Amino acid sequence: MIELTIIVPVYNEARIINNSIPQIINEVQKICKKFEVIVVDDGSSDNTGKKLSKLGKKFKELIILEHKKNMGLGASIKTAAIKSRGKILITIDADLSYSPTQIPDLLSKVGPYDIVIGSPYCTGNMIKAPIIRKIASLVQNKMYATLLRTNISCVSGMFRAYKTEVLQCIDIEHQRYDSQIEIIVKAIKKGYKIVEVPAVNNWPQNRESKVVLIREIPNSIRLLIKLMFNS
C-alpha cells in the first residue's frame, strides 16, 4: 500500500526540473518507505517532457502524466488525484518555493484534520519575496479570509496535505490558479477539518511567476462569491 503521494504540476520547467524532482524524492525517502511522486507535465513547450522521461528511468517512485495542451494548475491536480494511490496527498510547487524539508510539518497534523495548509502567515510573515509580491499576496489572502469568514491565513497557497478521499471527493471545476480557492471553499462547505502549520515561502531567485496577481485577484473574488452563494 502506497502511504504518500506527492503531486507536482509542471509547465515549462526544463531549467529547474533536474534539480527539484530529485530533491523532493530524496527528502520524502527520509520519512516514508512507500511513496510515489506524480509529476503532471501540463502541456510544456520546452524540454520539460524529455528531462522528465530521463528522470523517470532513474527514479522508480516517479510517475509522469501528461496533458497534450496547457490546462492549468487545477486540471493538473485533478489528473494526479485521480491516478494517485497514496493514503495522503501532498501538493507542492516545482520551484520548491516551499522546501520539501517542510513536508513532515504537514504530515504531523493529518489524521485529526482532513486538510493541512502550509502557511507563511499563521505565525507572522514568513514569505521571502520581492516586496510588491509579498504585499500583494498578504492583502490577497486577507481579503479571501474576510469574504469566507474564516481564520485561514493562506487560502490561495498550494503547499498542502490532504487525506486522499478529500481531494478525490471534491470536484475541481476551475482549471487554473483559482482552483486552490475553490478547493478550500468546497471543503469548508462539506465540513472537512482544516488546519494550518507555519511554513516558510522562499521566492526563488531569478524566477518569474506564471500567476499574474492583478488579474487573478478579481477572478478569485468573483469565484469566492459565486461558490459561497451556490448551494
pLDDT tens-digit map of 15-67: 999 999 999 999 999 999 999 999 999 999 999 999 999 999 999 999 999 99
Q: How far is Cα 4 from Cα 165, in angstroms, rounded to an integer?
A: 13
SS3 34: coil
What pLDDT score was predicted for residue 174? 83
144-173 pLDDT, tens per residue? 888 888 899 999 899 999 999 999 999 998
Q: What is the mean pLDDT of the chain?
A: 89
Residue 106, all three cell numbers: 504537514
171-204 pLDDT, tens per residue? 998 877 789 989 999 999 999 999 999 999 997 7
The predicted model scores a pTM of 0.89
Computed on alpha carbons and rounded to an integer, the radius of gyration of the chain in Å comes to: 17
Of the CA atoms within 13 Å of residue 87, those in its CB half-sphere come to: 8
| Contact present, 74 and 174 (Cβ < 8 Å) | yes
Q: How far is Cα 137 from Cα 149, in angstroms, rounded to an integer?
A: 18
